Amino acid sequence: MQEGGILGKCAYQLSEVFMKIEYPTRFEVYHNNSMAITDCNQQPLRARGVHCARHSQRRSEKRWTVWQGPGVSQRKTRSQGDAALAKEGAHVTATDINGEKLRELDGVPGIKTKVVDVTKKDQVEALAKEHEHVDVLFNIAGFVHHGSILNCEEADWDFTMNVNVRSMYLMCKAFLPKMLAKKAGNIINMASVASSIKGVVNRCVYSTSKAAVIGLTKSIATDFIEQGIRCNCICPGTVDTPSLRGRIEAQPDPEQALKDFMARQKTGRMCTAQEVAYLCVYLASDESAYVTGTEQIIDGVILAAVLFGVVWSITEDECLPGGNLFGITILFICALLGGKLVALIRLPKLPPFPPLLGMLLMGFMLRNIPVITNGVYIDYRWSSSLRNIALAVILARAGLGLDPTALRKLKSVCVRLAAGPCMVEACTTALVSHFLMGLPWVWGFILGFVMGAVSPAVVVPSMLLLQKDGYGVEQGIPTLLMAAGSFDDILAITGFTTCFGMAFATGSTWYNLLRGVLEVAGGMVAGIILGFLIQYFPSVDQKYLVMKRSFLVLGLSVFAVFGSTVAGFPGSGGLCTLVLAFLAGLGWGSEKARVEEVVGWAWDVFQPLLFGLIGAEIRVSELEGNTVGLGIATLLIALLVRLLFTYVCVLCAGFNMREKVFIALAWMPKATVQAAIGSTALDMARTKDDKQLQKYGMDVLTVAVLGILLTAPVGALIIGLSGPHLLQRPKNSASGTGAGSEDDNETPVTYESTL
């Protein structure tokens, strides 16, 4: 280990061990007011704890010894953490009362094991004699008795005190002389918030024992501070561990028991073992050399306060009202709440409203309420960067979501439905906006392709609800709409990137047209190269493969979006992202689903940011009534043409008139794609510092937001209301392959868009 602070690389490795500490697993069994203690294999178990030592706290020393003493570690990953310590030069002695559990560590380099019961004085003293000195002692033996003082028998009291307090007394008394001989040592005791800090229902003897641990800690710290001994204790709140889950499952109503646990958590969640681990690492390190005699409380409020303090000390005014970080945080929280509130709106027999509406409206309100606007400020460069990251995430998710099998199984009607209405609406929008709004042709087509995409975020949930009730299933209408939705969006994004590149190119019309085509081609070539690259790198034999692949997909996607702009080819980044994600997924096979899940987590974070920031871009004070009115007129005219052409696209697909009308109506909602690319042109115009281009960009964004607000809720309502009246229920439980199928024997494919 290189000379330096413990909280560097080695501290990270230490946390790998500590974060896997958990409390005794399934140690409470109640039967007729009697109590037995068992482990996972139902074998007798009396006391467990964790004890940690290292050679020399001074940074210049390189040898470490870590004891995981009579305590339980999460067995899935414990060996990895111990091995990581060994790689750093640590000598690890893992102890436990259960020899069978210790054998799981046999063969791990640098790890020794020993069976010890910390409630037995002779075993503790024998353990101490085997080690010349100890630098850090971590006591974690513990038992939780459930009940008030009236439910606590003398045997319960004695047993709990023996395990929770006497074990720490024995360990400290055995190893403290070795620390005093060196005039240096560090003791960490595991206590609890349920102690002298806070009263907890039905934790009488447990709370008393943990209060005693706090007293023991302060006493040792006071008595030996001048001899170089430090002693601290950790006081977690409710920690989510397997033992807790086991106790919950043992309750008559586990679901209600879990809800009761969560109701007591002011932060809405329980503490994790990892969060306790980080504090263990800190107290075991030289960075806490001036800390002794303290009870370190771990709960969500303290963690949030510490996090804010750290961020404030680094960024100063940025995280205070009026700063960018403060504004982004408030926007994110409000957008999340807005999405949750809208999702709660449920009308009988209707699909739920899309949460993105609440996110969009929250952003709009934060920008246009004067008192709030001054405090919630976000610089346009920060906003633009976050929206571009969100764009990269959603494009990567869309690329991974494309199914090659679905591509091969697309029927002619699905191809017509995916391409026809999108192209017709784009052309209609370009034509109408050119004459009504005064947009140049290329900007008209930018607006057209922004608005040409349908929103599977609205269509898919609505269709799944109808499909569940059997409407249109025999005709394959839900499958048709969900399949065509993704490809409709890909076509719109491709058309947008082409026109986007042309709009900001300098030169003749033919040159700009050629440049736009070349940007599309360049984006595809770059995507193919990068996609094939990450098919094979990292290799399949590496650890954490899913996380590495997810990082590469997201990292390269963000790089493509930002890098293409820096390189002067802004139209190529989006298509590059789609292609690379699609090709990478092809090479990963069934493992692609796990990467999609991780990318989905990233989208869960950036979705409220994207829609909140889009809503915040609209300032009522800067809007011109003429622009809003003409924008709505353009939108409605283009939608009418789209509806009519959609009806035409499904004329020869075997649907009756009612079903054709329904498909045309369902092909109307706008949302995610409009939010993802609606502001891209405005962001680029701002970098050019051209007022006229900025006006065009704002017009595009305004119409995009109007389209979301008008069509997303109305579209969801129309689908939910008209579906039962226009679609047929299946005559039997078996659904067909879908109308328009050229091969009635083909297996139907169900599609779900990730956009």
List the catalytic residues: 206
Residue 74 to residues 17, 245, 372, 575, Cα–Cα distance (Å): 9, 13, 47, 44
Q: Which stretches of 64-214 are assigned E, i.e. beta strand?
A: 64-68, 72-73, 90-96, 111-115, 136-139, 185-190
How many Cβ atoms from other residues are within 10 Å of residue 651's Cβ? 11
In contact, 68 and 51? CB cutoff 8 Å = yes
The answer for residues whose C-beta is within 8 angstroms of residue 129's C-beta and 6 or more apart is: none
Please state whether beta strands 185-190 and 136-139 pair in parallel, antiparallel, or not at all (unpaired).
parallel
How many Cβ atoms from other residues are within 10 Å of residue 318's Cβ? 17
In contact, 557 and 392? CB cutoff 8 Å = yes
The two three-digit tokens of residue 156, written as one number: 């319960």
Provide the sign of the torsion angle of the four alpha carbons 591, 592, 595, 596, taken in this order: negative
Q: How many CA atoms lie within 13 A of 476 on its CB side?
A: 25
Residue 15 to residues 188, 323, 347, 650, 707, Cα–Cα distance (Å): 15, 33, 49, 60, 50
Which residues are paired to 530 by β-bridges?
none
In the chain, what is the greatest distance between 2 CA atoms, to the nearest angstrom? 94
Pairwise CA distance, residues 265 & 243, whole Å: 18
Residue 98 to residues 43, 73, 103, 168, Cα–Cα distance (Å): 9, 12, 9, 19
Pairwise CA distance, residues 306 & 289, whole Å: 19
Provide the sign of the torsion angle of the four alpha carbons 721, 727, 732, 737, taken in this order: negative
Which residues are paired to 137 by β-bridges?
187
